[in-house]
Structure 1
Amino acid sequence: MATKYLALLTNIGAAKLAKATALGTKVEITQLAVGDGNGVLPTPNPAQTALVHELRRAPLNMLTVDPANASQIIAEQVIPEDVGGWWIREIGLFDKDGDMVAIANCAETYKPQLQEGSGRVQVIRVILIVSSTEAVTLKIDPAVVLATRQYVHSQLRAHEQSRNHPDASTTEKGLVQLSSSVTSDSESQAATSKAVKIAMDNGSARLAKDRNLSDLPNTALARQNLELGDSSTRNVGTTAGTVASGDDARITGAMQKSQNGGDIPDVAKFLQNLGLGEGSALPVGVPVPWPSATPPTGWLKCNGSAFTASQYPKLAQAYPALRLPDLRGEFIRGWDDGRGVDSGRSLLSSQTGMLEKHRHIIVANEGYDAAEEWDIGVIVKSSYVQGRGIDAAAPGTLIASPTLHTKGRIGNTGGTETRPRNIAFNYIVRAA
């Protein structure tokens, strides 16, 4: 049986395809037209430049290489249901220049339109065998074509197998990557069941807010860890075993911080109970003899050392020069304060040693001999009276009694200073 329906390149199409193959360019097929052949099924003629009777021309829906045959190009167009009212007997493919590059006929098909009471989406498909499919541009404009179900299914399959999908975000839908991390703060990943289970297990180990700590497994250990002690379990009251309230005598009878010790009823007893002794009541700055080389806490040695007002503000009031008196090896003398015994002195001023003026009377029975060695010095010489003695009945009265004269030598006696008997103490001063 002779072939009745066929598709072939027109002479123009064959020439353009050959040129494109030789030059490495492409033939861009863009449109497909259908006609009714003026009521007669036409036989395709390569010399044709147009259809016998064209009824509709529109962009291609699809132009692909046949996956089963690499030498075949499949051109497809979808005619919607609201277009028709005529027969389809001939098909033509046109390039971007408007030239018909391929022609075909098909089994006579009536394309109804909806006004006739029936509608059908018509798919027109042309398969061309070419020498080189690389010389044909396989491109369509998806904005102006209709897709067949097969095309949609193929595109969906390709989409499913690809990774070219929009990522989901907190503001846009899309695909999202799964994650089992329970520490991530990512907003572009979704938690897996494993992550949810870990979070739930962690939550089960936490205290529930609405349980008000009733889900504590060991309340005694919890109180111990919080260092609350036994008082946290006792009620407020005034009896034994209770916690004192604000008006409880155990609180109102306590010392108040703002009183600075002024509310102590018996200061002496208070100091005695603290083991401080009466000396602790001395004001800051008063020197006290201490029987040890190390002063107690809060006291400083009177050794002439400097101090700062920021460290000892009260001590600075007693010693504005910010230096302690040096009482090492010194006696303390009362300030004259206008009495006239030791006038001209200022507080904390030092005074050198002095020997009060006095007389020594030396009596010799042979008279003063200038050749003898008299080490008593000028005082002895000026007090010496030749041929005189001392009246025993009236001390201090010189009498003429040569028989009382004696002869002798007087030498230096004594130590390096004049001092009374004493006991050494370490002078200290309250610093705060």
Structure 2
Amino acid sequence: MSTKFKTVITTAGAAKLAAATMPGGKKINLNVMAVGDGGGKLPDPDVGQTQLVNEVWRHTLNKISQDNRYSNYIVAELVIPPEVGGFWMRELGLYDDEGTLIAVANMAESYKPELAEGSGRAQTCRMVIIVSSVESVALSIDSTMVMATQDYVDDRLAEHEKSRRHPDATLKEKGFTQLSNATDSESETLAATPKAVKTAYDLANAKYTAQDATTTRKGIVQLSNATDSVSETLAATPKAVKVAYDLANAKYTAQDATTARKGIIQLSNATDSTSETLAATPKAVKAAMDNANGRLEKNSNGGDIPDKKQFARTIGAVTSTTITLGESGWFKIATVVMPQSTSTAVIKLYGGSGYNVGSFEQAAISELVLRAGNGSPVGITATLWRRSPSAANEVAWVNTS
């Protein structure tokens, strides 16, 4: 029984394959497959062909690979999409990137319907060629022109599902992750289960009684916009903080203090000022206190005067002078008020320094005796006496009547 379906390498194809095996030879790049209807009948492939008998469609290869079992078998695959059709397929042609027909084959007759005919299916055509050295063929295609068959997709999905070649999920990339029931984990590579989420939800959903915050304990706290509150249980909002900040940041113009209003005020060291808009410094207050402490107490009636005699002289109440015996002089004494119409006032006149100063026996001691009466003579009589150790001598007298 003769072979009905076969694949042959054309003469041009054989020449290129042979050249590719030579040292420094150029590999053949198989990249296109064409289908034809054979002119209405099944053709017999011929090595002398340079094209198909009647080509109906061509496209870039979907896949080219080395056979898994036979290392010198090259498998080329073409996928005809569902929207392409309306022709019979009886022949296949494999071309390189220079347009040379490398291999030609016939195939079982098959009609490829187009989508408009009510039947949409992808048709896969495969051609296997045998080469002496697979190194003579470049097993690469343009991946942008590849159409995956359903079988291919199913096989790849099944293979992927059974493998563990899956990327792990991260914070930046999608991927597979392991589940966890933990509620206290800090992992960034695990995913929480619904059980863990429910536990956290129940805890947050009032099943935990939160305590209020205090100045010594953490807890929950209420917010407040107040800027004049002294509360220790409320927390200031950003609005309240901004109001306080603006006030402190010179956005509030302070007013001057007056006797009826609080405000800012200037200091002063003056002790003689009558200003009602300045404030005294401690220095000014001390000066006033020192001045007050040096004043006499009016209720003491002069009793707190340190040198009463000098004070009397200072105010002109009494004056003194020095009179030497045998000389003349005068002095003014204080005003003497006679208490009644008949009275006597004795004014002691003390002499200078010497023996037994202050005694009546001192020769320089004298006295002035004032007598008031309505007798003879009438009026006030002033008599100046000089007392000596032996006797008192009347020196002079005068009558004011």
- TM-score normalised according to structure 1 size: 0.46
Quick check: which one's strand share is greater? 2
- Higher relative contact order structure (alpha carbons within 8 Å, sequence separation ≥ 6): 1
Structure of higher CA gyration radius = 2
- TM-score normalised according to structure 2 size: 0.49
